[in-house]
Structure formats: C-alpha cells, structure tokens
Amino acid sequence: VKHCTNCLMPSTRPRITFDANGVCNACQWSSEKKKVDWSSRNQELINIISNNKTEGEQFDVLVPVSGGKDSCYVSWNLKHNFGLTPLLVHIEPPMPRVDGNKNLDNLVSSGFDCLKMATNSEINRKIAYQELKDFGDPLLSWMISVRSVVFRTAINYKIKLVMWGEDGEVEYGGLTTNKDTGFNSLDYHKKVYLSGNDPAKYLNAYTQAELTNWLLPSEEEYSQAGIKSMHYNYFDSWDPYKNFEVAKKYCGFEESESRNSGTYTNFAQTDSYMFDLHCFLMYLKFGFGRCTADACIDIRRGALDREQAISLVKMFDDISNDLDLTMYAEYFECNIDELKANIYKHTNLELFDIDSNNKLTRKFDIR
Ligand SMILES: [Zn+2]
C-alpha cells in the first residue's frame, strides 16, 4: 500500500490513480478546481435549465435527498439561486438514525415537496445480507434501490432533470472520466456506483413486482423519458464544509451531538447505522475507514495538516472494538457468529493479520 503524498488516500482505493509525485487524483482535482472557470460552468447549468423549461406546470428537477448537509445545499441552491421547483425524493436507509430523520424533516419544512419511499424491509434486509456475504457491502441494496426509485420517479413524474450531489469518484479519488462533464449515464451508475451488480439476479427469489424498487429502468425507458442525470459538483466548486454551513443556516440542519462512529466529525453521513458497518467493511477490504475519508477532505481544504490527520486516522479508523455487532445481527436476523464470519471473511490478508478472535493487526504503516 502506498498513500497519497498530499492526503492519506491509499492505493487500494478502487479506481484511484497517482501522478509521478505520488499525489492522488482527488488531490490533483482539488488544486485544479482553483483554476476552473466556475462562472462558465454555472452558465452551463443555466443553459441546461432553460433548454428544459417546464413552464411551471410540473416539477423542474428531481433531487435525491438523504436529509444530510449535501442534499440540503443542492436543494436550496436549485430553488433559491436557480429559481427551480424541485421534487425531493428520499429513500429510507436501513437502520435509520433519529438525527438523520430530524434533518430530513427540517429540510422539507424549509419549503420543499418530498416523496418518501420506504422499501419492503424484509426484501431489503435479505438483499443487504446477501450483498454483505458476496460483495462485502451491506449498503449496496439501499444504493441500488436509490437509483431505481429516483429514475423511476423521474420517469413517472415526467421530470427530465435529475441532480445528484457530488460525484465521489471525481471528488474523493476514483474514475476521472466525469471530471469534464456534468452529466452521468445510467450505465455509469450501474458500472461505477453499483460496481456492476445487477439486481436482476434476485428475480429467482422475488417477482418482478416485488423487485420494482430495485430493478433499474431499461436503457430504452430511460432514454425515451429524456432524462438528464447530473452531478452538482460539476457546476459549483464542491466543499462539504460550505455545504454544512448553508444547510445549517437555511435548512435547519443540525450536526449530531456526539462524533460519528469511526471518525472525529459529527456532521457527515449521520442518517443510517448501516453506514458505520459499510465503512468498517471498507476498512477490512481496502485498509481505510471513515476517518481517513474525512481527514483527506480536511487536508485538501487546508483544515488539517498531514501529521494531525495521521494521528486521527490511527486513533479512529479501526472501529472493530467499538462496533456493536449485536445490533446488526438483530437487524439481519442472524446469529452473531455467523455475522462475524460473513464480515471478517472480507479481510484483505495482504493488509491485515487476523487472529482467531478476529483481532486485526495492520501490516502497513501510514506515513
Ligand atoms: Zn491525495
């Protein structure tokens, strides 16, 4: 494993690349951002909006929202700076946290319509557990249903514009193909965000009707509907802390009272306990956790130096001792030993030694 010489992102992160000086592509983008002509990109969005004008008879844009700071920021800007009437769509995450729900309510009360979808929790639980076993990601079921519900809602409501928050690949390290475009295709969502996982494989266990909220619309339905799916970070320089401030000021967003599990921050990804397990699996598979992800953002925005970040990462990244697995075993309706086996089998043995009690010893140093 090598770590970026500017932030701490490791070479094990999927799709990340480094330049000759060992700087990762997220850090390269972070300095390129300062030279981007943001006013012309802002104008691009204005043009897209005016080419897709709805004359006020229906919603102008669909915004997928978690209720977090980023969805507040995007919704607020589209309504107040671009004069649009957005429809917010929320897909309830598994194991929701109370403070996440409160933030969503506050966002909606700040002047929006929001369609809330609760998917069949039994199917969600079973798919999530299967994806944990097979793929090491218990959040994948939800990520699939988010895309399905969002695109289907856009089709049903005849809303042409869909605005996601940031493209994590461009902002945090990964594929840079979408650096120079605000648009993303259905195929990009399938291949990159869902890592090629096709929910059609569940058709042997459930009917097409039961899987409606997981199966994605076909390419044909999607293109016939004329959907333009975009990422907001292409049009506006993305800064999670700026988003947090706007969310707090205008959308009633409140940070958690305590820091999030596995990191030192309290204002990002506060809506679901499943996110904690998702991050732990990321740690087992790729050797970096939620603290590294947060610290890298803070290094890039100049709020942390690399040495401080290294001590934070060493303190918080490994949450194996704090993670309450009984809570997850109850959710998945399985016994704890079976759950542990299904989690720890994803440990990357090139990165960690693991003993019979699942005690992890990191084989690499963070320097
Ligand atoms: Zn970096």
From the CA of 91, how far away is ligand 1's center (Å)?
Answer: 32
What's the pLDDT tens digit per position in 29-82?
A: 999 999 999 999 999 999 999 999 887 889 999 999 998 899 999 999 999 999
Residue with token string 């002509």: 37
Ligand 1 centroid – CA 246 distance (Å): 26
In 3-state terms the chain splits into helix, strand, coil percentages (rounded to 5) of 45, 10, 45
Q: What is the mean pLDDT of residues 319-347?
A: 94
What integer pLDDT is reported at residue 142 of this predicted model? 96
For residue 31, how far is its CA from the centre of ligand 1 (angstroms)? 11
Read off the tokens for 317: 């990244």
The two tokens of residue 306 are 């690399």
With residue 353 as reference, give the H or E element that holds it.
Answer: strand 352-354
pLDDT in tens, 19-28: 999 999 999 9
Cα separation of 320 and 362, whole Å?
12
Q: What is the mean pLDDT of residues 346-362?
A: 95
Cα 323 to ligand 1 centre (Å): 28
pTM for this model (two decimals): 0.93
Q: How far is CA 239 from CA 165, 236, 260, 315, in A?
A: 11, 9, 19, 25
Q: Taking Cα atoms as reference points, which of 3, 268, 334, 274 lies closest to residue 143?
A: 274
Orientation angle between helical segments 290-300 and 25-32, nearest 10 degrees:
30
In angstroms, the CA 171 to CA 276 distance is 21
Mean pLDDT of 197-209: 94
Amino acid (one-letter) located at 61: V
Ligand 1 mean position, distance from CA 114 (Å) = 36
Mean pLDDT throughout 262-266? 79
* The two three-digit tokens of residue 229, written as one number: 């799916």
| Cα–ligand 1 centroid distance for 256 (angstroms) | 27
Question: How many angstroms separate the alpha carbon of residue 348 from the centre of ligand 1?
Answer: 22
Rounded distance from Cα 177 to ligand 1 centre (Å):
18
Using a pLDDT cut of 90, give the percent of the chain over it.
Answer: 82
Inform me whether the pLDDT recorded for 98 exceeds 80.
Answer: no
The pLDDT tens digits for 120-169 are 999 999 999 999 999 999 999 999 999 999 999 999 999 999 999 999 89
The Å distance, Cα 161 to ligand 1 centre, comes to 32
If you measure from the C-alpha of residue 71 to the centroid of ligand 1, how many angstroms do you get, rounded to a whole number?
25
* CA 318 to ligand 1 centroid distance, Å: 20
Could you report how far apart the first and last alpha carbons of the chain are, in Å?
A: 11
Of the pLDDT bands very low, low, confident and very high (cuts 50, 70, 90), residue 267 is low
Q: How far is the CA of 93 from the centre of ligand 1 (A)?
A: 30
**7 Cα to the center of ligand 1, angstroms:** 4
- Predicted pLDDT of residue 270: 63
Ion ligand 1: protein residues whose beta carbon lies under 5 Å: 4, 6-7, 9, 24, 27
What distance in angstroms lies between residue 263's CA and the mean position of ligand 1's atoms?
18
pLDDT of 262 reads 80
pLDDT over threshold 90, residue 260: no
Beta bridge mates, 116: 90
Q: How far is the CA of 12 from the centre of ligand 1 (A)?
A: 13
Exposed, middle or buried: residue 240 (CB in 10 Å: 0-12, 13-18, 19+)? buried
For ligand 1, the distance from its centroid to the CA atom of residue 172, given in whole angstroms, is 8
- Tell me what the pLDDT averaged over the chain comes to: 93
Q: Using the predicted structure, report yes or no on whether residue 180 has a pLDDT greater than 80.
A: yes
**Cα-to-centroid distance, 240 and ligand 1 (Å):** 16
The sign of the CA dihedral 282, 88, 62, 131 is: positive
CA of 4 to the centre of ligand 1 (A): 5
Q: Measured in angstroms, how far is the CA atom of residue 105 from the centroid of ligand 1?
A: 35
